[in-house]
Amino acid sequence: MKITFFSAKQYDREYFDQYNKDYNFNLEYVPKTLNERRATNMEPSEAICAFVNDVINADVIKILAEKQGVKYIAMRCAGFNNVDLDAAKKYNIKVCRVPAYSPECVAEHAVALLLTLSRKIHKAYYRILSQNFALDGLIGDSIHNKTVGVLGTGKIGKNFAKIMYGFGCKVLGYDVFESPDFKKNGGEYVTKEELLKRADIIALFLPLLPETRYIINKETIKTLKKGVVIINTGRGGLVNTEDLIDGIMSEHIGGFGADVYENEGVLFFKDLSEQIIPDKKFKLLTSLPNVLLTGHQAFLTKEALSQIASCILLNLDEFKKGKELSTPGAFLA
């Protein structure tokens, strides 16, 4: 079976080539993101493997099915908000994902963002490089004893909550489904409104859905504690960037750390260091002293890359053999 990878990086090649020794599929790596034009121009392929910023809407799916003979779409990520599942069903394309790849590593990255922001480690690092050993301006905030609100207590959220509990925090959670693990580790479920009102630190681990889009917006920001720190490793669209910037500039929001950005599709995973970035909101956001962004790298650990490659190849092998997918939650359509 031929599998064409879009948005493929060197690390994808390294891990997929290694795990493919057990399957011997024909793997083709395309560095560029998938869109209508690339779907039209690609070589025919039985399967494609895509990532978070590939465009897999109804138009692309139609081309993949009718022109390129694609039967399977494998998302090498957990989120699938960029795939039109109804269109896939219509064109008889099966879709799968990696439902969990080291959720611990994404939770750890969220903690890294929080600790870096709280103790100004990113600023201290540059001071030491320039032999500036003065401490003025580096006063931090302790995390111990703070109230942490976890929005989305699924696989990543409950791991984050466990770490926060270890730091000596009071942990509040909001989710449409209550997790026994979250409660067992000391978490308390409250309403979304109560969480937003009481939390000193808010962390977002929700999928991007119509109901969760812009969960942090002008109206909800008004209800937050002054000085609140917001951490987002979920999806950029959970936060209305313009309202966030207003909240930070009015000093209502005390810090923002994120691994995702609303319009990251045209920015992330590329070296744009020699280019002018036309996204003014992004430039303004990154210029703020209490904002820390990383470029969608929370998943990027050796452990997670191994799990992604092994799960995707197993999914596709099972699809090809007409079997049910053995990984719970991997089957999407």
Residues forming the active site: 235, 264, 296
Q: Looking at the chain, how many residues does it have?
A: 333
Measured from the CB of residue 99, what is the shortest distance to ligand NAI in angstroms?
7
Measured from the CB of residue 46, what is the shortest distance to ligand NAI in angstroms?
26
Inter-CA distances, 65 with 3, 52, 197, 231, 315, Å: 14, 20, 48, 39, 19
Measured from the CB of residue 299, what is the shortest distance to ligand NAI in angstroms?
4
Nearer Cβ to ligand NAI, position 136 or 211? Answer: 211
* DSSP secondary structure letter of residue 296: S
End-to-end CA distance of the chain: 20
Rg over CA atoms, the chain:
21
Nearer Cβ to ligand NAI, position 246 or 295? Answer: 295
Structure-token pair, residue 74: 């494998």
Measured from the CB of residue 330, what is the shortest distance to ligand NAI in angstroms?
12
Which among 217, 210, 165, 167 has a CA at the least distance from the CA of 196? 217
Measured from the CB of residue 156, what is the shortest distance to ligand NAI in angstroms?
3
Q: What are phi and psi of 227, to 5 degrees?
A: 90, 5
* DSSP secondary structure letter of residue 208: -
Positions touching ligand NAI (CB under 6 A) are 78-79, 100, 103, 106, 152-157, 175-177, 205-209, 211-212, 233-235, 259-260, 296, 298-299
Amino acid identity of residue 267, one-letter, is: L
Measured from the CB of residue 195, what is the shortest distance to ligand NAI in angstroms?
10
Structure-token pair, residue 141: 């905030």
Q: What are phi and psi of 53, to 5 degrees?
A: -105, 10
Inter-CA distances, 157 with 151, 167, 216, Å: 7, 15, 17
Q: Which residue is nearest to ligand NAI (CB)?
A: 154
Q: What are phi and psi of 48, to 5 degrees?
A: -120, 155
Where would I find the H helices in 21-96? 36-41, 58-66, 85-90
Where would I find the H helices in the chain? 10-20, 36-41, 58-66, 85-90, 103-119, 121-129, 155-166, 180-184, 192-198, 218-223, 241-249, 280-287, 302-320
Q: What are phi and psi of 4, to 5 degrees?
A: -100, 125
Measured from the CB of residue 203, what is the shortest distance to ligand NAI in angstroms?
11
